[in-house]
Amino acid sequence: MSMNTFKTYTYSSGKSFTEKLVGSLLFLLIISVLFYLFFQLYKFLWFASPVFLIIAFILEPKVVLAYFKNIWMQLTENIVSGLMNALVNVIGFPFVSIGLIFKAWVYKKFGRLNQQMKQDHFEEKFTPYEEMDFESKPKNPSRQNALADGRYDDLFE
């Protein structure tokens, strides 16, 4: 006679219902406080975004004009995707305006550097070359044998 043994596994945390309830309420409280703080920051940035847009325009007007031109082009090409893009840009306008400031600063900083580099390298420089005689036979005998066999291996060396 053999005795069968059964093992039981439980996945309980060992906490009572009130401990679980308090933990869940604390978690919801922390999430709601973080959401409230984010919303207040968003409202502050929303009211400050026209100032950010003016700063970006002062830094580099081309960047701001290209941004609005891009939105207008998307509206004229495809009205549905253009409206969706415009809606996303209106909702995220505080972050878009900060991004435009950063983009204008980068364009101003590195755009001028790029123009200086182009002006420095504008001098016409010619590389000397030597004329090759294509009428002569190849100097390499294995290459000459390949040409005699009619193979194209010499083209892929």
Q: Could you list the pLDDT tens digit for every one of the 157 residues in the chain?
A: 566 788 877 777 778 889 999 999 999 999 999 999 999 999 999 999 999 999 999 998 998 999 999 999 999 999 999 899 999 999 999 999 999 999 999 988 887 656 655 655 555 666 777 777 776 655 555 555 555 565 666 666 6
- In angstroms, rounded to a whole number, what is the distance separating the alpha carbons of residues 133 and 113? 44
Q: What is the pLDDT of residue 48?
A: 94
Using CA atoms, how far residue 117 sits from 59, 95, 98, 104, 124, in Å, is 21, 32, 28, 19, 14
Asked whether residue 75 is assigned to any structural domain, the reply reads yes
Q: How many domains does the chain have?
A: 1
Range of the domain at 81: 47-119
Asked whether residue 68 is assigned to any structural domain, the reply reads yes
Asked whether residue 16 is assigned to any structural domain, the reply reads no
Q: What is the pLDDT of residue 40?
A: 96
Grouping H, G, I as helix, E, B as strand and the rest as coil, residue 3 is coil
Q: What is the pLDDT of residue 127?
A: 74
- In angstroms, rounded to a whole number, what is the distance separating the alpha carbons of residues 67 and 38? 26
Residue 96: both structure tokens together:
């878009």
Q: What is the pLDDT of residue 110?
A: 83
Closest CA to 157 of 120, 147, 12: 147
Asked whether residue 100 is assigned to any structural domain, the reply reads yes
Single-letter amino acid, residue 93: F
Asked whether residue 96 is assigned to any structural domain, the reply reads yes
Asked whether residue 88 is assigned to any structural domain, the reply reads yes
Asked whether residue 141 is assigned to any structural domain, the reply reads no
Q: What is the pLDDT of residue 133?
A: 72
Instruction: Determine contact, residues 101/52, Cβ cutoff 8 Å.
Output: yes
Cβ neighbours of residue 82 closer than 8 Å, sequence gap 6 or more: 71, 74, 75, 76
Q: What is the pLDDT of residue 7?
A: 81
Asked whether residue 136 is assigned to any structural domain, the reply reads no
